Amino acid sequence: MQIASCSLGAHLKFSNPKSVLRNGFSHVQNPTLDMELSPPVAWTYPDPNSEAFGSFFPGQSLLQSDANIKAMSDIEAAVISALVDSKISTQGVSVRSSYQAPEINDCRKVSMATPKGTNIGIVEANAVVKLLTPAVDITIADCPNRNFYSTPTTPPTVQDFSIRAAVTIQGVTASKYQIRQIARSMMVTLNFRNSVRFISEIKVKN
């Protein structure tokens, strides 16, 4: 699988960069923002046979390419929104994101049981926050009821789930403080609009 990328146009101007220097803030040129997050369902895709088995989540992209486009569009739109909210001009600067959609499956609701050892996404508030791996097959009857613990002697394995994404704002020179403010605004937008659950604050590079 390849990490996909796309870009949006925007232009960023700072009216008085000298004042920023006088305040002692270090500057960043063409900043890259690194994110660790639990992705929303729409930023993931299921197994190719998911429609036959009913093992996809509502609102999930059925193709990895569609999930990549959805995620990158949301991320880049959040950057533009953060710039606008900061009353910063948005003409001429290139915003480029990178994201690789993960394959996430629900248990099978049609045809046959979910085999033991299959990774199943656990969704909270529309974000995939954990992966569950059953030690025994999950029956079609147990799947809709989310009855994954029906055999307490052989409990499933559960682990936290997160992935990384990044976005670069080309043609921008700004203080780290200003970029951090933009990053925090992005986090709010992506959380409330797109159900992204951040594991930690967005990190500013460069």
Structural domain containing residue 190 = 4-102+163-205
Contact 24, 176 (CB under 8 A): no
Convert the pLDDT of each residue in 166-202 to its tens digit: 999 987 777 888 899 999 999 999 999 999 999 999 9
Contact 33, 200 (CB under 8 A): no
Answer whether residue 107 is part of any domain: no
Answer whether residue 112 is part of any domain: no
Terminal C-alpha separation, the chain: 27
- 3 state SS of 128: strand
Answer whether residue 123 is part of any domain: no
Convert the pLDDT of each residue in 4-19 to its tens digit: 544 444 333 333 444 4
Answer whether residue 147 is part of any domain: no
Q: Tell me the whole-structure pTM to 2 decimals.
A: 0.84
For the chain, how many structural domains are there in total?
A: 1
Convert the pLDDT of each residue in 122-158 to its tens digit: 999 999 999 999 999 999 988 988 878 766 678 899 9
What contacts 119, CB < 8 A, 6 or more positions away?
104, 105, 131, 132, 133
Answer whether residue 45 is part of any domain: yes
Residue 68 and residue 70: Cα distance in Å, rounded? 5
Answer whether residue 119 is part of any domain: no
Answer whether residue 155 is part of any domain: no
